Amino acid sequence: MAAALISFILTQSIHAAPISQHPPPNSTDFSINYSDACNDLRHCRTMWSMVYSCLLTMFACVWTAIHPEVPEQYSAWSFEHGSRNLEMIWTLVSPELTVRAAWTEFSKAWRISQKCAGIQGWTLTHSYFVNMGGFFDSSKRKLVEPDGNEDPSTLFAKYPGIINKSGGQRKVAVTREGLLDRSKGSFFAKSIIVLQLLWFTTQYVGRWASHLPRSQLEAMTLAYAALSIFVSALWWHKPLDVHFSIDVTEETEPNPSSSEAVTDPVLPKTENASNPISPAAKIMEANPVWIFLVTGIIFGGIHCLAWSYPFPTRVERLLWRISAIVITVGPGPLGWALVSSTKRSEYLLTLFMLFYAIARIILFTLTFTSLRSPPPDLYRTTSWTSFIPHLG
C-alpha cells in the first residue's frame, strides 16, 4: 500500500508540472515536464530523475553503509539483533543511533589496536573483526573478545589461530587481506558509495549557489547523506557482511619461556601507545551520547534548510517547521534522559521518543506530498554537476 501511495503522489506530481500552451517546434510528446522556466534539455531534469537520484542515494545511505556483526547463524531474511535488515530499519528511523553505534565501535577498536601495537601485522581491521564477533572459541562455545579488565594482547596470545608465536616474535595468524577476503565490500565499492554521497551533496550545494529551488525530498536525502559520510568514515576499515566467524581454539600447553621472551619487550610500547592522557585517548573516551547529540542536531538542522521552501499549503509548511524543530532539539533531552537513571528521566525519554517518532512520520509524509505542486525552476539543473561521476 505504501508503494501504491508513493506512486500515486509521483504521478500527480508529474502532471502538476507547468506545461507550455505552445511548445517549441522541435518539442516531442515525451516532454511531459516541459515548462517555460526549463526549455533546454541539457539544463533540465524530470521529476522521475530527481526522485530516482534521491532514492538511490538513500539506498546507499541505509543499506550499503551498514556493517552488521557476524551472525550466530546466517540468514538473508533475519531480523535478529545485529542483522543487516534490523540495522537498516533503525537507520531509516533514527540515523543518529547508527552514527553513535559506529563511533562506539570505532573507539573500542582503536583502543584494542593501541594495546596490540606490539603484534606484527595487527591493524584496525583486526580490532574491528574481534568486536564484530569474528573469532569464535569452538571449545568453549563463546566469542573471543576482551572484557574491560583484560589485556587484549594477552588474551589473543592464547589462541594460535589469532596470534602466531614463532622465532621470538608475535604476529597475526590471519593477515588483513585474509580478513578482507571474507568481506563483501572492497575499497572500490566503498569509494563508489562515498562518491555518490559526495556528488549528491555537491549538486545540492550547487543548486543553492545558483539560487535554484530544492525539494523537501532532496533536503531529507541530504540529511541522510551527511550522516552516512560519517558512518562510512568510521566503518571504513570494518569488514562488510561477514557471514561466518573463524573458529579458534585456546592452546592447552603454552611455552612459558617463549611467552616471556615475546611479551616482555612490547609492554612499554603498549603502555605508551595507550596513554590515557593523550589527546587521542581523551577523544576516544568521549561519551557516545555527545555523538548522538551532535549528529542529531546536524540531521535535524538540515531538515530546517527547507524552512522557506515552497509548500502546497500553509498547513504543510507549518507542520514541516514544527517537526524539523522537534528532531533538531529532541536529541538534547533524549541524551540527558539516556545518561540519567531517575524515574523522571524515563518518563521524559518515553515522551520525547513519541514526539520524535511522530515528527519523523510527518516529515517523511510531507516529503512526498509536497511533490504534487513543484515550482517550475525545480526542473532546472546546473550543467557542471553532470561532469561529476555519479550513479543515477
The reported pLDDT for the residue numbered 387 is 55
Question: What would the DSSP string read from start to end of 51-79?
Answer: HHHHHHHHHIIIIIT--PPPPSS--TT--
Query: Is residue 243 classed as helix, strand or coil in its secondary structure?
Result: coil
Q: Rounded CA gap, 382 and 216, in Å?
A: 18
Question: What would the DSSP string read from start to end of 115-182?
Answer: HTTTSBT--HHHHHHHHTT-EEETTTTEE----TTS-HHHHHTT-TTTEEEETTEEEESS-HHHHHTT
The reported pLDDT for the residue numbered 259 is 45
| Residues 160/254, Cβ–Cβ less than 8 Å | no
Q: Rounded CA gap, 291 and 284, in Å?
A: 11
* Residue 308 grid cell: 522557506
* Residue 89 grid cell: 530499519
| Residues 96/296, Cβ–Cβ less than 8 Å | yes
pLDDT in tens, the chain (392 residues): 444 444 444 444 443 344 333 344 433 333 334 444 555 555 677 888 888 888 888 887 777 778 888 877 666 666 666 667 778 887 888 888 888 889 999 999 999 999 998 899 999 999 999 998 889 988 888 888 888 777 888 899 889 889 988 777 889 998 898 888 887 766 677 777 777 788 888 888 888 888 888 899 999 999 998 888 888 889 888 888 888 888 998 887 655 544 444 444 444 444 444 444 567 677 777 777 788 888 889 999 999 999 989 899 999 999 999 999 999 988 777 777 766 766 777 777 778 888 888 999 999 999 999 988 888 888 877 766 555 555 55
Question: What would the DSSP string read from start to end of 251-287?
Answer: -SS--HHHHHHHHGGGHHHHHHHT-TTSHHHHHHTS-
* Residue 80 grid cell: 535478529
Pick the closest to residue 349 from 362, 364, 365, 332 (CA basis): 332
The reported pLDDT for the residue numbered 302 is 92
Distance of CA 379 to CAs 32, 99, 222, 297, Å?
11, 33, 18, 30
Terminal C-alpha separation, the chain: 26
Q: Rounded CA gap, 286 and 199, in Å?
A: 31
The reported pLDDT for the residue numbered 385 is 57
Indicate yes or no: pTM above 0.95: no
